[in-house]
Structure 1
Amino acid sequence: MTTRPRMPSSNHVSGLSTPDVRTTWAWLFDGHHAVEMRVLTAHGPRIGRFTREDAFVRAVRQAQANPTATGIYATLNPIVTDAVWTAPWNVLTRSPRAAADRDIVARRWLLIDIDPIRPPHTNATTLERHAAARVGQRLVEGLRALGWPDPGVATSGNGIHLLYRIDWPNTVATTTQVRRILSLLAQRFNTPDAAVDESVYNAARITKVYGTTPRKGPATPDRPWWSARILRIPRHWMTVTADHVTALDLWATPSLNALPSRNGSVSRPRLFATSDGLDRLIHWLSQRGLTLAGDPRPLTGDEGWLIPLVCPWEAEHTTPSTPTATAVLWFPDGRIGFRCFHAHCTHRTIRDIWRVTGTPYPSFSTKGGPSHDAPGSSHVK
């Protein structure tokens, strides 16, 4: 099936499409976990967590009929049903707590949101919407040439949404990966008229409920309220795999994906890698007073990851620090290392980090449970 993002005709300018609302539910509900709906109104947000389609559709209808509602959204990825939620289920409430990234079970959708460039707080014109559709078409065709499957295609109202099925864990490494993918696509496909939104990378990201009509800015004859509609559904949904993501290396540029090695050479790391062990280590370091200096990065030519840190001995440095000058190194087999390129720290090892934290890290390997080996015996320098 050929996926060509085309904007709907003018009879889709406003209103509610119940079939699209039901399709949105079918896409987002995995049969086991909750979907969170958020309705933005002039009097504050209304939030609900839903496990029933009939209740979801009824709440959407009520929200669309509310003249103060400016947008109806839902979480892209499933929410754990045992997450802290004190409000009633399957209804909208004024609960102050929206889903956080930690509440997400797993990543099920990669959203590519393409917005037309236009004045702030305005709706798009017809020409601006078509500019977003053209970028979407080029992007889909470019990814298809790399072997990617076809996405679901929708209009967000003003722009284009491309939804690719994924099955990735909700980890820091996955978040880093999604950010890198969006940045790479933006660099390759952005135009002066439309751009990929690079901010939609987090796990608890919300999307428009398709079939509804956002009412963000004032409606004018040339900038009306446009409905969010589903435009194309693949005949056969296929999941984006590690091989698909690795194929993006063909588009990678040194400024985006290169990682400097110790000898100053530059090579291109893998774009796809995840591990619960990496997340546990990052959380453990943060809990013990160490400050992260950036997102983790895959190590060049290896299966490990680099976790940038603000050096605990930064006061001794005589030259400015760079984002990756100081880092803890993590490997899936449980090894953990440390490196700092500043002259005052070249002699330091992971043992010095353990002295700062007050205790060695109880290493977790992807092959088994926790081990409490001494740093010198099971961890690299």
Structure 2
Amino acid sequence: GVYTTLNPCLPALLGRANERLRANVDRTQDKEISHLRNLLVDLDPIRPAGISSSEAEHDAAVGMASEIEADLKELGWPEPLMADSGNGGHLVYPLELEQTPEHVELLKRVLQALAWRYDVRLKELGLELDQKVFNPARISKLYGTVAGKGENLPERPHRRARILSLPAERVPVARALLEEMAAEAPPERGVQAGKPAPPGVKGPQAGPPGPPPASGRGAMDVAAYLAHYQKEVVKVKPHGTSMLYCLAECVFDETHQGNEAAVGQTADGALFYQCFHNSCKERLWAEARRLISGDDKLVRFFPGGRGVQAGKPAPLVKGAQAGKPGAPKPGPPGGPEPPEGSLPQVIITHRFLQEKSGESLAALEQGNDPPVIFVRTGALARVLKDENNSPHIDTLSDMALRGLLCRRALFYKQTAQGLLPASPPMEIPRDIMALGDWSFPPLEGVTGIPIFRPDGSVCRTPGYDPATRLYYAADPDLEQMPELLEDPDAEIVTMFKEMLLDIYCDLPFAEEADKANALALLCTLPLRPAIAGLIPMAVITAPTPGTGKSLLADVIALMGTGKVAPMEGLSNTDDETRKLITSLLDKASPLICFDNVEGSLRAPSLARALTCTIWEDRILGQSATVSLPQRALWLATGNNVQLRGDLPRRTFPIRLDAQMSKPWERKEFRHPRLRDYVRHYWPDFLAAIYTLGRAWILAGRPQPAQELPVLGGYEAWVETLGGILAFAGVEGFLANLDDFHAAADQEGQEWEAFLETWHSILGEQGVSCAEIKTALGESSEFAATLPGYLGDVFKNPERSFERSLGKALAQKAGRPYGEKNLAVQQGGQVRKVLRWQVAPLGQRCTGGTPVPPSVGLGFTEKP
């Protein structure tokens, strides 16, 4: 690998290897570093040495880097460089420090404090924060080069280290912020108990003889800190190389009194907490600090900080009432009097977490009318609009929930001066999010158009609709939508049908069935809440480019969302397709369109999504999984799209054919700007669709006289749209389905031809893959029928045809093809070699009256 120092070297080193790569050159030493310019926060998965991280481990580390960056930003830290190290995550914070032992020790303590601060989260994810990268000559992976630990395996691949984000400008971390963070570091071993460093210990850990000055350079003013937060100090005394500030009572247990508890400060400025009682002996400074000052910044108590130095410390509260809830009275000296009858008040000092979280949650619930906080897929969520006014669902982060808490309750700290306004500490929103059981309403989706309910009524009031569990984020353009007729008659139905069909007057549909399918597609999104179950994917295809496929997709999207279709591209890898689907469903996208599909389309993840009501996938950057409702409308456009795998039976066709070589040169359109036309009359078109749906429901949901085609798994959509179109007098819905499946399923046709030829040449005897290869070599007719990639493998002597054929036969075993229902099946083993045979399968379903499950099983039917 290629590594570089994080900090600039002395100019004299340039003579050794100036801008060149040279072998056998000594590594740069700490003394050869001129300045400290960068602080590296290095996150790596905990794994055996010498191997690369897995995808889950790698994503968890990069995700944790984002969490730390967001948390430190809240503390006032500037934006860092964020990078992917190839195996983990990097944050590189700018510094402007001289290269001195004092500053090196400061960075060491900062890394220790960061590791302590995120200890629980790191353990949850199986990560570690490297605390050894503080030395000045530390080297790090050069971004843009490959991290190649161990073998390059599919499950643990080599990856390129890369920069993920750069700050707009280089802003160094203020020294006061570094010192504040360093103060949170746990004490060194032996220091926590207040003991001096053991004999022989040298360097910063040992410290100079005698107690350090309370306000010395780089050290926090402990006396001012304790006085400010009303902690009575009864004695200050040296203890070895440390200084103890003995408290009137322990912050963890008020019964521990009489110099039994103390806040200590080592010679190098590190803080610790000690109490001689066994119940408190394991307590650390970070825990004590949270009880004393919560999440307050401590910059003011360091040299150069603002606050305490500007005035005298607040007066002490003596005795057992110091720092107790209820002791200080709210009043003007400490801040404004909380307005009566306004938001709920939450006191955050010296209380159990469950008490603070409970009151905060109650405030959220009380203020959630009308609802803005929801429960979706086991997490808290809200509805947002992007810069294009498009609504989407956003899973609440702890920072977002904290912002909502600030707007639903007033948070205060109790001091001797009264109630001081405060921000809710991060532990409160995180605890609320971890509950997993809330009373907020469930949310299944968001829409920008009025909600058509299953009973035919239409919700036109913006906001949450409990009947459908949908949120109506009203589009302003729909304020002028006409009122719907209560009881539309046949004449109105016919008029609205013609109005909708007129939208398509300039599109060259190949058949009337394609136009009927397109009209059904136009009505699907507006009527989606009334359709139970799933919707098949519409494949909009044509023989030549420029026929209007993307235009039709935009019209469908405009009708259902008011926006043109967000055109997505399908990746060549199914793993990327899966990630794309997860991200789109996570935002509750109502319409998903894959544009310009080329050649054959095989996407197992897409096929899975089309047949599941709940989509489950691993969250990017985490090891956890997410479960998302799947109620989207799916489109795919392309020229002569061929479908493979399980996709053909999960789709329906809309074919356009202008029957000319350059269809984009057509002229004389009735609606030359179709998108603008649909957008202009959008409220009227929606009213027409709602009226057709309502009229069909009020008529008793009649089904067409001619039986509708069977599309397994999508019966509700077929019955609803087929019923509405037939009721309006539109014929041909899905009439081209069988022909489309036959033409689109190229893979099925190839296997049908292959099995028929196999059956005619080899009969129904069991044969091995080697014997099949021999037969293929003897018959060019047989070899010509090899499906898909098997033909290429057969012609390539460097590849194992028998192995590829065996895998393909195992995948197709038991599936019948053609009118003869020919299927490949295992034919036993001979000398441990698996044999295969092709034979027709029996008729699996003969129809007739269903037999109740109780018949013949000894059960008695209930009356």
TM-score, structure 1 normalization: 0.51
1:302 to 188, 206, 215: 215
Write the distance in 2 (CA, Å) between the matches of 1:89 and 1:118. 37
Q: 1:120 aligns with which of 49, 54, 57?
A: 49
Equivalent runs, 1:201-240 vs 2, <5 Å: 201-240=134-173
| Aligned: 1:82 with 2:12 | yes
Distance 2:150 2:201 in 1: 39
2 CA distance for matches of 1:245 and 1:106?
16
Alignment of 1:283-322 (within 5 A): 293-295=202-204, 299=212, 301-303=214-216
- Could you tell me how far 1:251 is from its partner in structure 2? 4.0
1:124 to partner: Cα distance: 0.6
1:158-197 superposed matches below 5 A: 158-190=87-119, 191-192=122-123, 193-197=126-130
Alpha-carbon distance in 2 for matches of 1:220, 1:189: 31
2:175 is aligned with 1:242: yes
| Conserved? CA contact 2:106–2:178, under 8 Å | no
C-alpha separation between the residues in 2 aligned to 1:249 and 1:133? 24
User: Relative to structure 1, is the Cα distance of residues 252 and 103 closer, same or farther in structure 2, using a 3 angstrom cutoff?
Assistant: closer
**Deviation per residue, 1:136-181 (Å, 9 max, x gap):** 1221122111111111000110001100000011111111111100
Q: What does residue range 4-15 of structure 1 map to in structure 2 within 5 Å?
A: none
Task: Name 1:58's counterpart in structure 2.
Answer: none
Q: Which amino acid aligns with 2:11?
A: T
Deviation at 1:118, TM superposition (A): 1.6
Is the contact between residue 107 and residue 178 of structure 2 (CA under 8 Å) also seen in structure 1? no
From 21, 30, 39, give the equivalent of 1:92. Answer: 21
The structural deviation recorded for 1:94 is 2.0
Give, in whole Å, the separation in 2 of the partners of 1:185 and 1:135: 12
The answer to whether the Cα contact below 8 Å between 1:259 and 1:300 also exists between their aligned partners in 2 is no
Q: Is the deviation greater in 93-102 or in 247-256?
A: 247-256
Query: 2:67 corresponds to which residue?
Result: 138
SS of aligned partner of 1:110: strand
Q: String of CA shifts for 1:287-339, please: whole Å, max 9, x gaps.
A: xxx96524255935131689xxxxxxxxxxxxxxx9958xxx89xxxxxxxxx
Kindly state the Cα deviation for residue 236 of structure 1 after the two structures are TM-superposed: 2.5
In structure 2, distance between residues paired with 1:219 and 1:249: 39
Tell me, what secondary structure is at the counterpart of 1:176? helix
SS of the equivalent of 2:159 reads coil
Q: Cα gap change, 1:143/1:300 in structure 2, threshold over 3 Å: closer, same or farther?
A: farther
Residue 40 of structure 2 is matched in structure 1 by: 111
Residues 250-271 of structure 1: per-residue CA shift (max 9 Å, x gap): 7455669978879x9xxxxxxx
Flag the 1:249–1:89 CA change in 2: closer, same or farther, 3 A.
Answer: closer
Structure 1 pair 97–133 and aligned structure 2 pair: CA distance change class (3 A): same
Structure-2 separation of matches of 1:233 and 1:124 = 24
Instruction: Give the Cα–Cα distance (whole angstroms) in 2 for the partners of residues 114 and 148 of structure 1.
Output: 18
Quickly say closer, same or farther: Cα 1:153–1:170, change in 2 above 3 A.
same
- Helix, strand or coil at the partner of 1:90: coil
Matches of 2:79 and 2:189, distance apart in 1: 25
CA distance in 2, matches of 1:119, 1:194: 12
Cα distance, 1:260–1:173 mapped onto 2, change above 3 Å: farther
The letter for the 2-side match of 1:295 is P
**Equivalent residue letter for 1:226:** R
In our comparison, the structure showing a higher alpha carbon Rg is: 2
Match of 2:71, SS state, is helix
Partner of 1:334: none
The CA distance in 2 between the partners of 1:211 and 1:164, in whole Å, is 19
2:15 & 2:74 partners in 1: Cα distance?
A: 47
What is the RMSD of the two structures over their aligned residues, measured on CA atoms? Answer: 3.5
Query: 1:249 deviation in Å?
Result: 6.1
- Closer, same or farther: CA 199–150 of 1 in aligned 2, 3 Å: same
Structure 1 counterpart of 2:372: none
> Does structure 1 conserve the Cα–Cα contact (< 8 Å) formed by 2:106 and 2:182?
no
Counting only pairs closer than 5 Å after superposition, residues 231-380 of structure 1 correspond to structure 2 as 231-248=164-181, 251-253=184-186, 293-295=202-204, 299=212, 301-303=214-216, 324=241
Question: For residue 37 of structure 2, what is the amino acid of its counterpart?
Answer: R
- Following TM superposition, by how much is the alpha carbon of 1:102 offset from its aligned partner in structure 2, in angstroms? 0.4
Instruction: Return the alpha-carbon distance in structure 2 between the equivalents of residues 305 and 146 of structure 1.
Output: 19
* More relative contact order, 1 or 2 (CA 8 Å, 6+ apart): 1
Deviations 1:74-111 (A, max 9, x none): 1111111124x764533222233121000001000011
Find the aligned partners of 1:249 and 1:101 in 2 and give their Cα distance.
21
SS at match of 2:38: strand
**Counterpart position of 2:58:** 129
Structure 1 residues 92 and 236, CA gap change in structure 2 (3 angstroms): closer
1:278 counterpart residue number: none
Which residue identity is paired with 1:90?
A: E
- Report the equivalent of 1:199: 132
Distance 1:89 1:248, change over 3 A: closer
Deviations 1:234-257 (A, max 9, x none): 122211012222332674556699
Q: Deviations over 1:9-58 (max 9, x none)?
A: xxxxxxxxxxxxxxxxxxxxxxxxxxxxxxxxxxxxxxxxxxxxxxxxxx
Q: 1:156 to 1:300 in 2, by over 3 A?
A: farther
What's 1:151 paired with?
80
Q: 1:293 to 1:131 in 2, by over 3 A?
A: same
Asked if 2 retains the 8 angstrom alpha-carbon contact of 1:135 and 1:189, the reply is no
1:32-111 to structure 2, matched below 5 A, reads 71-83=1-13, 87-111=16-40
- 3-state DSSP of counterpart to 2:43: strand
Q: Which residue does 1:373 correspond to in 2?
A: none
* Separation (CA, whole Å) in 2 of partners of 1:301 and 1:323: 15
Contact between 1:73 and 1:208, CA under 8 Å: does it hold in 2? Answer: yes
User: Does the 8 Å contact 2:112/2:186 carry over to 1?
Assistant: no
Distance 1:197 1:79, change over 3 A: same
Q: Which residue of 2 aligns with 1:32?
A: none
Q: Corresponding residue for 1:14? A: none
The AA in structure 1 aligned to 2:102 is A
Cα distance change, pair 300–123 in 1 and its aligned pair in 2 (3 A): farther
Q: Quick check: 1:123–1:224 contact (8 Å CA) kept in 2?
A: yes
Q: Secondary structure at the match of 1:295?
A: helix
Gaps of at least 5 residues in structure 2 are: 220-238, 243-266, 269-863
Identity of aligned residues (%): 31
Superimposed CA distance per residue, residues 352-371 of structure 1 (whole angstroms, 9 cap, x where no aligned partner): xxxxxxxxxxxxxxxxxxxx
Distance 2:179 2:82 in 1: 23
